[in-house]
Amino acid sequence: MSDPPSPAGLPDGAAVRRWARRQSRKEPVGTWKILDRIYTVLISVLVGGALVAHQLSTLSALGERRRLDLSLDPAWMAVSVVAAVAVCAIRPLMRLGPVCLRPHEATWWLALPVERVGLLRPVALVLIALAACAGALIGLVVSALGAAGWGGALAWGAAMAAGAALLVITLIGAQVEGRTRRAPELVTASAAGLALVGAVALPFPTSAAAHAVTGAVGAAMALAAVAAWRRHGPRLGEVHDAVLVEVSLRAHSARVSSQSLDTRALGRLLSPEPRLPGRPCSLPLAAVGAVLPRPFAVALAVAQADLLVLARQPQRWWRLVLSAIIALGLQLVPGAGALAMAGAHVVGVWLAVLTVAEPARRAWFDPGPEEQLPGGSTALSAGHLLVPTALMSAWSLVVALPQLLGPSDARTGLVLATMILAGLGWGGAALRAGMRPMPDFFEPPMPSPVGPVAPWLGQAVVAGYDAAVLCAAPTALLAAGVTPSWLLLGLQAVLTALVIAWGMSDGSLER
């Protein structure tokens, strides 16, 4: 058997990609169509740039920053939230490659005797360019929040763009090497923590010297990104074909799930598998259940499994932290509007419920292990209710700190009781989000004033999280500054009971 040809003797993958693009076009792209595309892009850039430029010029014309008596700096807070979002997005990006091919490309191109670098380099460059553009836009927003002027816009835009590109290239390097790196998560989480400290203790830098330092940091990250790309770019061909096929199929399934608005399937695809245990676990909840009657033992066994699933997925805890920052951040800004504080609270609740619903979601997709337990559907649903309820109760107390630590009066007890009841209800919402029945995607569309609407749209998108928002109505009023009262407490008790019954009902349905 002869030796396989060397990479230097293989056809160019980029040439194969160009040939496939030419052959797949039904008709040549005319000059007018090209001009139309250029016109659309230019108009979009000019309109967006004019809006940002007006904001920046307004801030620069003031000569000094317009600032309320804030407890948190909005610009630093935005940097912290962006870094926290990046931490939460790292694992899903690694689940999707980040470099992948479309299914038909993986089917046809990977079977060809061509070098792989030319096939994969365009995908990697597009990802890096998108990350850099998103980072630059975020940098402009941060500079506008900090009233940093044009110098700050350039410095922060360049720094954010370089940081985003460096992060994506680092993830590409991890894919090439075939191993998971913890450094990107640790560095990004450290940046989020430092920005949060800056939001509390430091004013946002607006001097020319500060802009120079920010630009220097951005230049250093850009050099690091170039060096990392020169190291990992030529090695893209080392990614195994089986890995490319797997991530390509997963990315295609995620795209189909997003287009069909099946949020539960999308979350399952983007969630990494739990880490394998490094040592035996004592299973304390299951040990307690061993001496209890069978229904309680089954419920505690299910709760123990749910706790293990969350404990072996560290990114879930980062999402809980991010949701708490979102729900709590605006409450620490006295100048924020009531509607904005209530909206941020609801968004934080939604993200937290989405996070703690993961064990129930996994159990719905894979009910095999639970079917071996000697318990009915009620005991199983109650078991899936325990861990989300405990976590959301603790989370509710964290986001209620501004009310609990405010002026001491007799209403602190009302706030405490209302938030604990809300945490119980959010646990029921997490159960409903994970165990909701699958919508019928084949139902014919219904007529409406805006055109045909799929009847399963609401069930696929908001089922489960609608219960979380409903249960968050009284607590959102508290976050907006409404005085605690027995009426709010009673309303919260009714909504909590309704949502828990709702979740238990969905959990008892046949899957």
Alpha-carbon distance of 356 to 427, in angstroms, equals 8
Alpha-carbon distance of 308 to 200, in angstroms, equals 35
Question: pLDDT at residue 61 above 50?
Answer: no
> Which of 41-50, 70-79, 265-274 is the least confident region?
41-50
What is the secondary structure of 63-98 as a DSSP string?
A: SS----S-SS-HHHHHHHHHHHHHHHHHHHHHHT-S
Most confident range, picked from 123-132, 286-295, 322-331: 123-132
Q: What is the pLDDT of residue 56?
A: 46
Q: What is the pLDDT of residue 57?
A: 47
Alpha-carbon distance of 346 to 367, in angstroms, equals 31
pLDDT 10s digits, 400-414: 888 887 665 557 888
Alpha-carbon distance of 353 to 324, in angstroms, equals 11
Question: pLDDT at residue 29 above 60?
Answer: no
Q: How confident is the model at residue 333 (pLDDT cuts 50, 70, 90)?
A: low
Q: How confident is the model at residue 34 (pLDDT cuts 50, 70, 90)?
A: low
Q: How confident is the model at residue 271 (pLDDT cuts 50, 70, 90)?
A: confident
Q: What is the pLDDT of residue 27?
A: 55
Q: What is the mean pLDDT of residues 331-357?
A: 83
- State how far the alpha carbon of 442 is from the alpha carbons of 237, 242, 364, 436, 450, in Å: 42, 33, 21, 18, 20
What are the residues facing 154 on neighbouring strands?
A: none
Give the residue with greater pLDDT, 510 vs 11: 11
Taking the alpha carbons at both ends of the chain, their separation in whole angstroms is 53
Q: What is the pLDDT of residue 321?
A: 87
Q: How confident is the model at residue 395 (pLDDT cuts 50, 70, 90)?
A: very high
Q: How confident is the model at residue 65 (pLDDT cuts 50, 70, 90)?
A: very low
Q: What is the pLDDT of residue 482?
A: 85
CB neighbours (10 Å) of residue 329?
A: 22
Q: How confident is the model at residue 480 (pLDDT cuts 50, 70, 90)?
A: confident
Question: pLDDT at residue 282 above 80?
Answer: no
Alpha-carbon distance of 264 to 274, in angstroms, equals 17
Residue 28, exposed/middle/buried by CB under 10 A (0-12, 13-18, 19+)? exposed
**Which element (helix H / strand E) includes 46?**
helix 31-61
In the predicted model, what is the mean pLDDT of the chain?
79
Question: pLDDT at residue 459 above 90?
Answer: no
Q: What is the pLDDT of residue 87?
A: 85
pLDDT 10s digits, 200-255: 778 888 888 888 999 999 999 999 999 999 999 888 888 888 888 888 888 888 88
Closest CA to 84 of 195, 167, 192: 192
CB neighbours (10 Å) of residue 384?
A: 29
Q: What is the pLDDT of residue 225?
A: 93
Q: What is the pLDDT of residue 5?
A: 46
* Total residues found in the chain within this entry: 511
CB neighbours (10 Å) of residue 450?
A: 6
Dihedral over alpha carbons 159, 162, 163, 167 (to 10 degrees): 180
**Which element (helix H / strand E) includes 193?**
helix 183-201
The answer to whether residues 397 and 435 touch, using CB atoms and an 8 Å cutoff, is no
Q: How confident is the model at residue 169 (pLDDT cuts 50, 70, 90)?
A: very high
Alpha-carbon distance of 425 to 429, in angstroms, equals 6
The answer to whether residues 132 and 164 touch, using CB atoms and an 8 Å cutoff, is yes
CB neighbours (10 Å) of residue 489?
A: 17
pLDDT 10s digits, 297-311: 888 888 888 888 888
What is the secondary structure of 400-436 as a DSSP string?
A: THHHHTSS-STTHHHHHHHHHHHHHHHHHHHHHHHHP
Q: What is the pLDDT of residue 493?
A: 93
Q: How confident is the model at residue 451 (pLDDT cuts 50, 70, 90)?
A: low
Question: pLDDT at residue 1 above 50?
Answer: no
Closest CA to 382 of 291, 467, 270, 295: 295
Q: In percent, how much of the chain has pLDDT > 90?
A: 17
Give the residue with greater pLDDT, 60 vs 162: 162
The answer to whether residues 324 and 295 touch, using CB atoms and an 8 Å cutoff, is no
Q: What is the mean pLDDT of residues 317-325?
A: 86
Which residues have C-beta within 8 Å of that of residue 73, sequence separation ≥ 6?
146, 198, 199, 200, 202, 203, 204
Q: In percent, how much of the chain has pLDDT > 70?
A: 79
Alpha-carbon distance of 72 to 447, in angstroms, equals 48
pLDDT 10s digits, 83-119: 888 888 888 888 888 888 888 777 777 777 777 788 8
Residue 447, exposed/middle/buried by CB under 10 A (0-12, 13-18, 19+)? exposed
Which residues have C-beta within 8 Å of that of residue 315, sequence separation ≥ 6?
87, 88, 90, 91, 185, 272
Question: pLDDT at residue 449 above 70?
Answer: no
Question: pLDDT at residue 391 above 90?
Answer: yes
Closest CA to 119 of 12, 23, 10: 12
Q: Which residue type does 289 have?
A: G
Place of tokens 């090209």: 34
